[in-house]
């Protein structure tokens, strides 16, 4: 009798494990199919960058900042590219802090790039003659 209960318990455990494994493999296949469809599906309603506004730069010219960023007017907004641009501007060592904010407008997004310039301290040696009393 104990052997019968043991066999029934083993069969029940194997049946539950089989359903669990089969269910998880179906779920995994469904997730893979969804991921593939998302990768191939274009984003029709992705916001477009309509303008770039650069603020906070007193000494650094606008063209230096524009040269370093990949985002241009007319591009689709991509957060990964914006973060890479922010890091690229910080790596110039000209700015202590860089913020990139987006303001939604009717046509897309207006990007505001705010930079906080670092302090510049340049050594400036001053040489002058000091007459010593050699007498």
- 72-97 pLDDT, tens digit each: 999 999 999 999 999 999 999 999 99
Pairing verdict, β 109-117 and 49-55 = parallel
Which CATH fold would you assign to the domain 49-117? Ubiquitin-like (UB roll) (3.10.20)
CA-to-CA distance for 52 and 113, rounded, in angstroms? 7
Q: State percent of the chain over pLDDT 70.
A: 62
Four-residue CA torsion sign, 33, 39, 41, 43: positive
Q: Residue 85: which H helix or E strand, with range?
A: helix 79-90
pTM of the model: 0.58
- pLDDT score recorded for residue 85: 96
CA-to-CA distance for 25 and 10, rounded, in angstroms? 22
CA-to-CA distance for 54 and 81, rounded, in angstroms? 17
CB within 8 Å of 120: residues ≥ 6 apart: 59
Q: Which of 37-46, 65-74, 100-109 has the lowest mean pLDDT?
A: 37-46
Give the chain's length.
Answer: 135
CA-to-CA distance for 67 and 89, rounded, in angstroms? 10
What is the mean predicted confidence (pLDDT) over 59-70?
A: 93
Q: Is pLDDT at 116 greater than 70 in this prediction?
A: yes
- pLDDT score recorded for residue 133: 60
What is the mean predicted confidence (pLDDT) over 114-118?
A: 94
CA-to-CA distance for 102 and 89, rounded, in angstroms? 17
**Pair 54, 62: CB distance under 8 Å:** yes
């Amino acid at each position: 009798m104990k052997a019968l209960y043991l066999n029934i318990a083993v069969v029940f455990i194997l049946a539950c494990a089989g359903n669990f494994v089969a269910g998880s493999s179906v779920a995994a296949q469904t997730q893979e199919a969804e991921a593939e469809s998302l990768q191939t599906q274009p984003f029709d309603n992705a916001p477009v960058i309509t303008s770039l506004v650069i603020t906070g730069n007193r000494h650094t010219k606008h063209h230096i900042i524009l040269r370093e960023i990949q985002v241009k007017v007319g591009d689709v907004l991509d957060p990964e590219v914006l973060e890479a641009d922010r890091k690229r501007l910080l790596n110039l060592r000209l700015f202590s802090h860089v913020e990139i904010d987006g303001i939604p407008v009717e046509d897309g997004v207006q990007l505001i790039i705010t930079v906080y310039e670092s302090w510049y301290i340049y050594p400036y040696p001053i040489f002058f003659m000091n007459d010593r009393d050699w007498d």
